[in-house]
Structure 1
């Protein structure tokens, strides 16, 4: 793990999570543990409206947490609409120490790396049922209320789980923009590390 990201991970305090929030996250823990115990593929698809901020953060941090705890999970993300991986979210991840390269302009593909050994994700805005995402036996984790309420059916998902986050977009172009994007990213990191810390091998 790159040193700057490791410093971020070392600051995670799982005791900061409330009992109420853990109750929501424990539904995801149960899904992952069931798959782990059965030695079945662990497939997680994080879904929000535009697949531009929250679901991208969640996919990346969930994959980092899975790798950190040596759990073989595959994490994905998608939206109800296609836009682009928001440049403010990308900037936040860079501040946290991720190495990111961009290809393309309209809906760029960002290659995101967090360690030296085969740890990379290609990230771009796509629909939740994009051909790159799983089609069956996966958990659909709804990261925003709009997607949760306006996407009542996710084809192929085995379990639908609501883990909602406030949209950092609400702070775009404000003095709090940078701080709030980093806050949201760190919150999601903390919660994904909580999930994978609970998995028994």
Structure 2
């Protein structure tokens, strides 16, 4: 059975439009460190836990967590579990959820309050990705045997030690927050999501099972 059959068609159609040829050599070199880690884990029959970290765990770290998990599923790399965290907890920014919804995810708000919990479903049969803001060492995240992927330069510089991480890899993105309140906010968030999806597609497309 083709696993793509179970993914929501709108997401599959979006993935089929991604063009990895646009990635610069510099970005490919940056992503290679993550590719090497995942490949080494697979070659040694080990589970792969990816914890994407930025300052507030509100935008970039969630987008990378979601797209990495989706691409692992798309390429049928089954031993991957993705997490996200911050150097402090705030809230998942609602425009992130809206951006993913417009790409085909089924988004459900599971709780209200200052830091709502979201269910982000990408497939008919798979467990949804759970999104809410938390510190990187929150009990929801793994304590050991994970790689810390720093998605913003502030977290990378401000958090020199990640307890329990086997490795740390900087893969930083410009914060779409710069567009908040502006007329082009939707476009900026959409473009950042597209960039991250393209790069995570590239990463998992390189893995040999």
Instruction: Specify the TM-score bucket, using the shorter chain as the normaliser.
Output: over 0.9
* 1:105 CA drift (Å): 2.3
Give the match's secondary structure for 1:101: strand
Q: CA deviation at 1:4?
A: 1.2
Helix, strand or coil: the match of 1:106?
A: coil
- Cα deviation for residue 40 of structure 1 reads 0.4
TM, length-normalised to structure 2: 0.95
Distance 2:201 2:127 in 1: 17
Alignment of 1:23-42 (within 5 A): 23-42=29-48
Question: What is the CA distance between 1:119 and its match in structure 2?
Answer: 3.6
Of the three residues 102, 106, 131, the one matched with 1:95 is 102
Structure 1 residue runs without a partner (length 5+)? none
Q: What is the distance in 1 between the residues matched to 2:203 and 2:142?
A: 20
Q: State yes or no: 1:131 paired with 2:139.
A: yes
SS in 2 for 1:154: coil
Q: State the partner residue of 1:54.
A: 60
1:180-199 aligned within 5 A: 180-199=188-207
CA–CA distance in 2 between the matches of 1:132 and 1:33? Answer: 25
SS at match of 1:164: coil
CA RMSD of aligned residues (A): 0.7
Q: How many residues align?
A: 201
CA distance in structure 1 between the aligned counterparts of 2:18 and 2:127, rounded to whole angstroms: 21
**Out of 70, 75, 78, which is 1:69 matched to?**
75
Q: Which moved more, 1:130-139 or 1:29-38?
A: 130-139
| 1:146 aligns to 2:154 (yes or no) | yes
